[in-house]
Amino acid sequence: MNVEIETRRFEKPDDLLDMKECGGIAIIKMGTGATGMHAVFEPGWTWEKDEKPLLGSPDTCPMHHTGYCISGTLVVRMLDSGKSTKIAPGDFFEIPPGHDAYVEGSNRVELILFAPPEHQH
């Protein structure tokens, strides 16, 4: 078992989902397999327009998100129920798969997302 402390920075990500002028997601994989993501979505960003094509165009976002909102307002909609939830600065959130989202208003959305190590099968 590793007993070292590992630190990483989003300025040097392992992967980057580049959404051009609409923002992007910097992705860091820790040695344990845990993942951290720093997401920036500019005003006008929508999951449908800016992220869906980068994921191979699934019907809805297939990922489970756990995270914290630093700035801006993100509206997340569960497609099965049609229920929308606003995520605002200071909110810690859990979003199940099967959603889409968009930036509300004229402020940039900034989120930190966490994912535990994926279980090996």
Look up the pTM and report it.
0.88
44 in a structural domain: yes
Give, for all 121 residues of the chain, the pLDDT tens digit. Answer: 667 899 999 999 999 989 999 999 999 999 999 999 999 999 999 999 988 888 888 899 888 999 999 999 999 999 999 999 999 999 999 999 999 999 999 999 999 999 988 754 4
pLDDT for 84: 97
pLDDT for 55: 83
67 in a structural domain: yes
8 in a structural domain: no
- Answer yes or no: are the C-beta atoms of 94 and 63 closer than 8 Å: no
The range of the structural domain enclosing residue 78 comes to 15-115
5 in a structural domain: no
76 in a structural domain: yes
pLDDT for 120: 47
* CATH value at residue 52: 2.60.120.10
121 in a structural domain: no
63 in a structural domain: yes
Q: Across the strands, what pairs with 75?
A: 86, 102
- Answer yes or no: are the C-beta atoms of 16 and 24 closer than 8 Å: yes
79 in a structural domain: yes
pLDDT for 97: 94
Which value, to the nearest 10 degrees, does the dihedral of the CA atoms of residues 44, 49, 55, 58 take?
130
pLDDT for 56: 86
The CA–CA distances, whole Å, from 113 to 49, 91, 100 equal: 21, 12, 16
In the chain, the number of structural domains is 1
